[in-house]
Amino acid sequence: MFLRGAFRALALNRNLTPIAVRTFASKQREVPALTCDRYPVQRGSFAELTDDDVAVFRGILGGADTSRVLTAADEVQDYNIDYLRSVRGYGRVVLKPRTTAEVAELLRYCNERRLAVCPQGGNTGLVGGSVPVFDEVVLSLQLMDTIERIDEYSGIVVCQAGCVLATLEEQVGARGLVMPLDLGAKGSCHIGGNVSTNAGGLRLVRYGNLHGSVLGVEAVTAEGRVLDLMSNFKKDNTGYHLKHLFIGSEGTLGIITRLSMFCPTASRSVNVAFLGLHSYDDVKRTFLAAKRGLGEVLSSCEMIDAASLDSCTRFFGLQSPIDKYPFYMLIETSGSDAGHDEEKLARFLEQTMEQGLVQDGTVTNDSTKMK
């Protein structure tokens, strides 16, 4: 049903939480074939893990009875399989350090023994980059989840790399700030993994990529050397900014263990519009109209095709808030003046519908319906 005159309030059957999203990947399904059997890849000239190596790892991480060294097959399996369950390695050990010093000692030993290492965060990546290809040692940052400091005056958060994005969002939100990135996997992805992959997310239109938001990092190189590249200044024009080498390097140059990030002030007025369109050309023209018409309040603009929306609604038992269209757009505005923002959004929607770009849609400023 086309709504030409007004937009309905968004009314989903139930909210989709980050936990529900994570459940989608963790449901019991068939174990995928080994990556090395499916693809023409060759193992490098690395050493093979021995019981003596495991004993050394246990010594570094707390002793023989430590729970931070996993070796049982059923315990390590989930760390060998990617989020989409499309690739699988056969790593025999998972290490869980808590400090940068422990990461450095583990990498120093693995480098001396020529043991290949696979760093892993929340394991939410969609391209299989966070799991072993062969029998690499998995170094998980799950336990490095300390938020060291949130400065509401400067807007800077300092934390370990294993902090879950949703947890950071909640903590900085309580101080009137907002994380400069937002992802569908925020309930389980790690901020260190976000930085290591230079994740863009839904707020890239507003805040740019992480090269502009990350102020500093602490990283450990393969030979166990700790690089302190931390900074607590938004404006820092002193010397080389080597942090940029690690942002997006995906662990190839070193493992990020700590970081500092600038968090903007949270917007008091947020609106979300979900729109239906006939063609991809209409999507492009609507995006251009949004940039020109919404200007400074445009904070997010995403496209969804019909097949993707249908997959989500069928799997989770949800219902689309509007009728079926070949393409959909999710547009978010964020500002400080609700009246001003709503007026701009209404004018933009009216114009795009008059031009035949947007066919139907729904708008909400209710935070419970934006999740």
pTM given for the model = 0.85
* pLDDT tens, residue by residue, 196-249: 999 988 888 889 999 999 999 999 999 999 999 998 888 778 878 899 999 999
Mean pLDDT of 289-315: 94
State residue 64's pLDDT score: 81
CA distance 130 to 140: 10
- Report pLDDT for 97: 97
* H runs (alpha helix) in 177-262: 191-196, 204-207, 210-213, 243-246
Convert the pLDDT of each residue in 4-36 to its tens digit: 444 443 333 333 333 333 443 444 578 999 999
Q: How does pLDDT run across 330-371, given as a tens digit for each residue?
A: 999 999 999 999 999 999 999 999 999 999 999 998 877 766
| Residue 313 clears pLDDT 60, i.e. is over it | yes
Which of 128-137, 186-195, 197-206, 213-222 comes out lowest in average pLDDT? 197-206
Q: What is the pLDDT of residue 9?
A: 39
Which DSSP string corresponds to 193-209? HHHHTT---TTHHHH--
Instruction: Write down the mean pLDDT value for the chain.
Output: 90
- pLDDT of res. 240: 86
Strands ordered across the beta sheet of 69-70: 69-70, 94-95, 137-140, 117-120
Short-list 123, 100, 76, 129, CA closest to 255: 100
Q: How far is CA 266 from CA 78, 155, 171, 182, 358, in A?
A: 36, 10, 12, 13, 29
Structural domains present in the chain: 35-140 (3.30.43.10), 147-262 (3.30.465.10), 269-364 (3.30.70.2190)
Q: What confidence tens digit (pLDDT) does each residue in 65-81 have?
A: 889 999 999 999 999 99
Q: Who contacts 39 (Cβ-Cβ below 8 Å, separation ≥6)?
A: none
Please give the angle made by the CA atoms of 39, 43 and 45, to the nearest 5 degrees: 165
What local confidence, expressed as pLDDT, does residue 90 receive? 97
Burial class (CB in 10 A: 0-12, 13-18, 19+), 113: middle
Q: Where are the beta strands (DSSP E) in 175-309?
A: 214-220, 226-229, 255-262, 269-277, 298-305
What was the pLDDT predicted at 23?
40
The pLDDT of residue 63: 85
Find the helix or strand (DSSP H, E) in which 338 lies.
helix 338-354
**Percentage of residues of the chain with pLDDT beyond 90:** 81
pLDDT of 130 > 60? The answer is yes
- Stretch among 25-39, 175-189, 302-316, 335-349 having the lowest mean pLDDT: 25-39
pLDDT of residue 184: 86
